[in-house]
Chain A
Amino acid sequence: MLSLSLIVFVGFGSNISAYAYSIPGDWFLPYSRVELRNGFKGETHPDADEFVELSDSRFVHMQNPAVTSNGGITWIVKNLSYDSTRDITFILTVRSWNATTLSDFSFYPESLVLGYINHDLSTTWFTVDDVHFFHRDAFNSDQFFGYSVVFTVPADQANSFSRISLSGSGTWPPLGVSLYAYYSDDSSSSVSDLAAILAKLEDIEQSSDEIKGAIEDQYSGDPDQSFNVDDIVTQHNEKMGVLSFSSDVMMDVLGLLSPDQNLSSELVFPSMSLKIANQRQTVQLWPEYRFDLEELAGHWPFLINLMRSITTASVWLLVLRYCYKVFDKYFLAGGS
């Protein structure tokens, strides 16, 4: 499995909502339920709704020169893993939220570009093998159409992160944009199966819309009423104040004797660095070194087990000796 850096530049409106879903089976895009809001410029991480704004210069740097754009979406997906021995088919679908707005929408497949982002931020462009247009009149009472882009990813061009950028210009109605990918050993047969795939996408999008609607209904009220369990626990702990803290510390200390905890036998030798004030440089004399004592048990298991048996027996003997002294003090002649 390798990582792929991918860019998709599409020329279309700046007023865009984009969704992506993870699909089981051969579908492998690692993000799920990622929503990019209108006019958003930023990046998102797989399996998370966290967005990080990018600088405008970086966004402009990533734009397709063929598209005159002053807005749009930059969508970055990191660690897109794929099987480099198989072809990849990308499907870009675009849907309108109502039938009246679809006629206002323009889509430019010729401006769609796929490419790698290399480690030095240079771009290696791909030649699109094929582009197919789809149109479905009825999709959840909305208009729906899409494009499929088929291309093969060479095995020797793996990168550490992936970018999917959507850019465009003008004022367009709100649109839903979804990008999907799947493995296709035979691109022609894959294209022929796109109708079934799109039908599958309908179910996924419909269920996702239902979930999204339920979430929006739940949080459509006063946002101040939203709560977090962690906040409640934190407030409780803060209310308990010093005494709760002290009891927690005591429990933590006594918990150190619990044999159920996961203790590490790793020795850490910290690094050593010197900071040169005049040159504002830091010189590292030696790096941090870690040594796990369990390696000793791997090399000399008999000796380690013997040592552990001896120490355990010694502790038990000490405790039994203490118990005998107490017993002798109070019940035998030793106490008199």
Chain B
Amino acid sequence: MIINLITTLLQFVTDTIFSVVDLPVVPRGLVNAVDLMLGYMRSGMGIFNFFCPLSGISGAVDLFVAVWTVEHTYRLVMWVLQKIPLLGVK
């Protein structure tokens, strides 16, 4: 759920900001290369899913992403606050 939320948010941001810009067409070679890479990754995930079912660890992945995001957001905010001498944050 968290992953879907993140991807939806990122897509909304990118679509909103850059929809008015006339960007060039993605080269066909790049599209094919990425599709090939995604195919390999999908095959790999298929093998991984056989040994470690994603349905069983999806909650763990969501928890890990959530904790990691909160931790690093906290560290980023604190790093910015530490740069303000007036606040005196250490």
| A residues lining the B interface (CB < 8 Å) | 238-247, 249-259, 263-268, 293-294, 297, 307-308, 311-312, 315-316, 318-319, 322-323, 326, 330
- Supposing A242-B23, A247-B15 touch, asked if A263 and B57 sit within 8 A by C-beta, the answer is no
Tell me the interface secondary structure of chain B in the complex: helix
Q: How far is the CA of A240 from the CA of B26 in the complex (A)?
A: 9
Number of B interface residues in the complex (CB < 8 A): 43
Q: How far is the CA of A253 from the CA of B50 in the complex (A)?
A: 18
Say how far B28's CB is from chain A's closest CB, in angstroms. Answer: 11
Q: How far is the CA of A259 from the CA of B50 in the complex (A)?
A: 12
Contact between A240 and B23, CB atoms less than 8 A apart: yes
Contact between B24 and A242, CB atoms less than 8 A apart: yes
Q: How far is the CA of A243 from the CA of B22 in the complex (A)?
A: 11
Q: How far is the CA of A255 from the CA of B10 in the complex (A)?
A: 14
- On chain A, the residues within 8 Å of B47 by CB distance are 265, 267, 293
- On chain A, the residues within 8 Å of B34 by CB distance are 245, 249
- Supposing A258-B3, A265-B47 touch, asked if A241 and B60 sit within 8 A by C-beta, the answer is no
Tell me the interface secondary structure of chain A in the complex: helix
Contact between A245 and B24, CB atoms less than 8 A apart: no
Q: Of A251, A252, A294, A315, which is within 8 A of B60 by CB?
A: A315
Contact between B56 and A249, CB atoms less than 8 A apart: no
Contact between B57 and A247, CB atoms less than 8 A apart: no
Q: Considering the complex, give the chain B residue whose CB is closest to the CB of A268.
A: B43
Q: Of B7, B31, B51, B55, which is within 8 A of A245 by CB?
A: B31
Q: Considering the complex, give the chain B residue whose CB is closest to the CB of A251.
A: B7
Contact between B67 and A326, CB atoms less than 8 A apart: yes
In the complex, B11 has a CB within 8 A of chain A? yes
- On chain A, the residues within 8 Å of B60 by CB distance are 315-316, 318-319
Q: Of B7, B11, B43, B51, which is within 8 A of A308 by CB?
A: B51
The 5 lowest CB-CB distance pairs between A and B, nearest first, are: A241-B23, A263-B46, A311-B52, A312-B56, A265-B50
Q: How far is the CA of A119 from the CA of B75 in the complex (A)?
A: 73
Contact between B49 and A265, CB atoms less than 8 A apart: yes
Say how far A134's CB is from chain B's closest CB, in angstroms. Answer: 57
Q: How far is the CA of A74 from the CA of B10 in the complex (A)?
A: 55
Contact between A315 and B52, CB atoms less than 8 A apart: yes
- On chain B, the residues within 8 Å of A293 by CB distance are 47, 50
In the complex, B42 has a CB within 8 A of chain A? yes
Contact between A294 and B50, CB atoms less than 8 A apart: yes
Contact between B67 and A245, CB atoms less than 8 A apart: no
- Of the A-B pairs whose beta carbons lie under 8 Å apart in the complex, a sample of 8, sorted by A's number, is A238-B25, A238-B26, A244-B15, A245-B26, A258-B54, A312-B57, A322-B64, A326-B71
- Supposing A239-B22, A256-B41, A263-B49 touch, asked if A247 and B54 sit within 8 A by C-beta, the answer is no
Q: Considering the complex, give the chain B residue whose CB is closest to the CB of A238.
A: B25
Say how far A242's CB is from chain B's closest CB, in angstroms. Answer: 5
Q: How far is the CA of A239 from the CA of B15 in the complex (A)?
A: 11
Q: Considering the complex, give the chain A residue whose CB is closest to the CB of B43.
A: A264
Q: How far is the CA of A297 from the CA of B49 in the complex (A)?
A: 13
- On chain B, the residues within 8 Å of A322 by CB distance are 64, 67
Q: Considering the complex, give the chain A residue whose CB is closest to the CB of B38.
A: A252
Binary interface encoding of chain B residues 11-53 relative to chain A, with 1 for a CB under 8 A from any of its CBs, else 0: 1001100110111111000110010001001110111011111
Say how far B8's CB is from chain A's closest CB, in angstroms. Answer: 9
- On chain B, the residues within 8 Å of A268 by CB distance are 43
Say how far A153's CB is from chain B's closest CB, in angstroms. Answer: 45
- On chain B, the residues within 8 Å of A318 by CB distance are 60
